[in-house]
Amino acid sequence: MKFVVLSLSFLLFCGAVFAQNWQQIKTVDDVCKAYPEAMEKMLGQFNVEYPGMENVKKARDSGNLTKACTQLLNYYRHCGNAGHLRNVLPDESNRTDAEADTILKNVFVIQNVRGEVPFLEDGHRDWYYKGPNNDREWAWLSNRHSQISYVLSTYLKTGNPKYAAYIDLFLRDFIIKSMPYPEKKSSTSVWRGLEVSFRGKVWSQIFYGLMDSKYLLPATRLLMLSSLPDHAHYNRNFHGENNWLTMEISALATVATNFPEYKDAPEWLDYSVGTMVESMKGQIYPDGVQTELTLHYHIVALANFELFKNICENANRTLPDYYLETLEKMQNYLAYTMRPNGTGILNNDGDLDDNRQRILDAAKSYVRPDWEFIASNGKNGETPANRPSFFSPWAGHLISRSGFDADAHWSFFDIGPWGSGHQHNDKLHISVAAYGRDLLVDAGRFAYTGEVAEKFRNYVRGSAGHNVLLIDGKGQGPGPRLAEQPVPEKHWRVTDAYDYAWSSFGEFAGVEGVCEHTRRLFYARGDLWVVVDQIKTDRPRKIDALWHWHPDCDVQINGSKVVTKNETGNLQIVPVGSQKWKLNLVKGQEEPEIQGWYSREYNKYEPNVASVYSTKIEGDDEFVWVLFPSKNVADDVKAEIVSKTDDEIRLRVFNSKNDEWFVTIPL
């Protein structure tokens, strides 16, 4: 008994020494001496009765830890798992890649912010480093290991061994420093659910992709095999909902199918299938739109639902018809909301994502020539059977367009619910593009945390960054999170000649009394847009009508109008009626409040022009706007109300060339 105690003490001493010199843990024997408990636990998580694991079982049962771990690596080298992830290694070379070389200096670019990860006294990287802006998002995303995914692809292209060696040391550093697994829900930089899910996917690619590489060392492979069950356990037991769920459960299925030898792998896969299907039912509307109503996160959900489908196909696991049909609806929404230039809707917490290639790829997979037609600007595929415009009744999103060519008119009008996550207070917002140019825009998302967010987050989440009305200087409050039914048909219409939609909003934050804003959008196909804003109020009000322009637009005032003087792709905002407006152009303002800023993607932003129309009303009132697009500069458009009844407004729009347009807007 005394001898056993001494032996255990000796092992603990050896482990402490190895832990202090973790860079020297390279062989199977090294890792077994340094972390015997972790290796014993790892072996206990495998089903050693699994076909091909006989030698692992024999060595484990004999009490030879090093031999059992060696046999485990031999098993993986020769088993047929994850054939789609295994690579033929490239010939060695000295070729390099500048971006990968930057990563090798531990300089990571996370959401457009460059930061060098510092080292601690123990030689480990500081995995809690928040980047130069002290942004916890930077720390979270750096722990997803997308940087070594890029280094892996660089190694497979160049054959330069320094890239594979970096991956090896990077993983040993991270796994050893992250021990022990806390076995609880966490929001830390290392053990938050999203980061756990991304690592499970990246590590699978590395483990099998470098199976024949001498540069991914045995100790590192065993550390990966010891940590992957922890990752799976986290995603199985502590996953989130909605978009988080799709990412975390697809990662659980990734580990379950790529490493079926784990004892819990069958249960992980069963749980994944059941949970993913139920989640799809809960977070995807019947028209195929993800309930957060943010196109950027719709794409995230779609990508993970698609990944899950591919995982199940590789594992010969059948998914229900509902799942596959919903995937096609999600792709359809993405295709039919795309702008002529290939980007999607910029709304809520999103970036201006370029979706053209995604849609072209989906068109082939789903055999949808109409999607190919849209994504190719009509050069390939087949003309969609329905009209150019598109309305999503559950999302309440109206996309109006003149056609599918590169110069087509395009607009987005939001009359749907607030959304289940990542919401902005921007109901009744309008975005406009024409002749290859974005004209009226949403502000974007800027950042979630850190210095950029501290400065801009209230602006972008509030109404001030959107093309809506402010009441007494106040913006909207939250609206309904979810739609209980589709938008009633009386609220929208899409015909050969025009599109029409309307809705109301009355929850303005901090506004006294009762005030309701109703906005109607009428698009005369191929010609112009008309916006009618109606205010019902129990007292006098100050009204600010906001119209935000893309930063590339040359915006000028012409009387009561706001016009652009772009080389190509222009728009005029023409207020109609007798209302007296005070008009200001605001750009890049920081005091007394933020106004006139635009963010195309996370952590990138620049000034843009906001044209602010201000007036005072004594009671109920109505404002009419003509949005007139033109390819070339044309600032001579005028408009007048010809007649008005309780049922309709009839407008005459004309220019100096005696061109006329008569538009009737139903009320």
- Residue intervals in the chain for CATH 1.50.10.100: 91-217+233-238, 241-383
Q: What is the arithmetic mean of pLDDT over 284-312?
A: 95
**Long-range contacts of residues 311-317, Cβ cutoff 8 Å, at least 24 apart:** 311/250, 311/253, 311/254, 311/257, 312/253, 312/257, 312/273, 314/84, 314/257, 315/257, 315/269, 317/269, 317/273
- Residue intervals in the chain for CATH 2.70.98.70: 386-666
| Distance, CA of 393 to CA of 516 (rounded, Å) | 22
3-state secondary structure of 300: helix
User: Please, which pLDDT band fits residue 657 given cuts at 50, 70 and 90?
Assistant: confident
Q: What is the DSSP letter of 248?
A: H
- The DSSP-derived string for 61-78 is HTT-HHHHHHHHHHHHHH
Task: Kindly state the tokens that stand for 501.
Answer: 């939609």
| Distance, CA of 158 to CA of 153 (rounded, Å) | 9
| Distance, CA of 42 to CA of 229 (rounded, Å) | 8
* pLDDT at residue 18, rounded to an integer: 45
Beta strands in 393-514 (DSSP E): 397-401, 410-414, 430-434, 437-440, 469-471, 492-494, 498-505
Write down the CATH number for the domain with range 91-217+233-238.
1.50.10.100
Helix axes 193-209, 242-258, angle to 10 degrees: 30
Residue 389 has pLDDT above 80, yes or no: yes
Q: What is the arithmetic mean of pLDDT over 11-39?
A: 78
* pLDDT at residue 617, rounded to an integer: 96
Candidates 27, 37, 106, 107; CA nearest to 67 is 27
Q: What is the arithmetic mean of pLDDT over 385-397?
A: 95
What average pLDDT does the chain have?
94
Residue 1 has pLDDT above 50, yes or no: no
| Distance, CA of 427 to CA of 478 (rounded, Å) | 9
3-state secondary structure of 358: helix
Q: What is the arithmetic mean of pLDDT over 585-606?
A: 96
Beta bridge partners of 299: none
Task: Kindly state the tokens that stand for 657.
Answer: 């060339």
91-143 pLDDT, tens per residue? 999 999 999 999 999 999 999 999 999 999 999 999 999 999 999 999 999 99
314-364 pLDDT, tens per residue? 889 999 999 999 999 999 999 999 999 999 999 999 999 999 999 999 999
395-452 pLDDT, tens per residue? 999 999 999 999 999 999 999 999 999 999 999 999 999 999 999 999 999 999 888 9
**386-666 adopts what CATH topology?**
Beta-galactosidase; Chain A, domain 5 (2.70.98)
* pLDDT at residue 20, rounded to an integer: 52
User: Please, which pLDDT band fits residue 37 given cuts at 50, 70 and 90?
Assistant: very high
Write down the CATH number for the domain with range 241-383.
1.50.10.100
| Distance, CA of 546 to CA of 470 (rounded, Å) | 8
- The DSSP-derived string for 371-394 is HHHHHTTTSSS---SS-S-EEETT
170-191 pLDDT, tens per residue? 999 999 999 999 999 999 999 9
| Distance, CA of 177 to CA of 188 (rounded, Å) | 14
Q: What is the arithmetic mean of pLDDT over 3-26?
A: 55
Task: Kindly state the tokens that stand for 187.
Answer: 């929001």
Task: Kindly state the tokens that stand for 487.
Answer: 């938008």
| Distance, CA of 624 to CA of 521 (rounded, Å) | 10
521-543 pLDDT, tens per residue? 999 999 999 999 999 999 999 99
Residue 2 has pLDDT above 70, yes or no: no
* pLDDT at residue 13, rounded to an integer: 40
* pLDDT at residue 5, rounded to an integer: 37
pTM, two decimals, is 0.89
Considering only residues 663 and 9, tell me which one the structure prediction assigns the higher pLDDT: 663
* pLDDT at residue 10, rounded to an integer: 41
* Placement of tokens 């912010």 in the chain: 113
Residue 192 has pLDDT above 50, yes or no: yes
| Distance, CA of 472 to CA of 27 (rounded, Å) | 70
42-52 pLDDT, tens per residue? 999 999 999 99
User: Please, which pLDDT band fits residue 575 given cuts at 50, 70 and 90?
Assistant: very high
Q: CA triplet 119, 120, 126: central angle to 5 degrees?
A: 65
* pLDDT at residue 11, rounded to an integer: 41
| Distance, CA of 509 to CA of 506 (rounded, Å) | 10
Amino acid at residue number 55: N
